[in-house]
Amino acid sequence: MINDIIFKGKRGIDWKDVEKYLKQYVGEFYIMADSSDIIYIGTDLPDEFTGSIYTRSLRGAAAKAKANAAQALPELVEIATDKHFKENMTDKHAYNAQNG
């Protein structure tokens, strides 16, 4: 549960602020409760989360929901289920994530 909404009351989301916020999680490990898998948060997550084509197209409530979901990242990883692997399909994804 998100008790304090950080990214609220704004006409648009400043994704640079969200990226800066996400950097606090870099280097951390979290355990998925469903599978006991260990998830490492790498240095590329903040940019991937905030800089995707999909993210840049978000407006209004959807943008605020995604921005504020960053506050619950550890909890979201811990309660995640149905893990799956997807091959990297674009040139910018020429390598897989660090530590798995």
Domain-embedded: residue 95:
no
Question: How does pLDDT run across 44-73, given as a tens digit for each residue?
Answer: 999 989 988 888 889 888 999 999 999 999
* Three-state SS at 69: helix
Domain-embedded: residue 45:
yes
Other Cβ atoms within 10 Å of 81 Cβ, number: 8
Range of the domain at 43: 15-79
- pTM here is 0.78
Sequential pLDDT tens for the chain (100 residues):
677 788 876 678 899 999 999 999 999 999 999 899 999 999 999 998 998 888 888 988 899 999 999 999 999 999 988 877 777 676 665 666 656 5
Number of domains in the chain: 1
Q: What is the pLDDT of residue 56?
A: 85
Domain-embedded: residue 33:
yes
Contact 69, 61 (CB under 8 A): no
Domain-embedded: residue 55:
yes
Structure tokens at 25: 């999680």
Domain-embedded: residue 86:
no
Q: What is the pLDDT of residue 98?
A: 59
Domain-embedded: residue 88:
no
CA torsion 5-13-95-24 (nearest 10°) is: -40
Contact 40, 47 (CB under 8 A): no
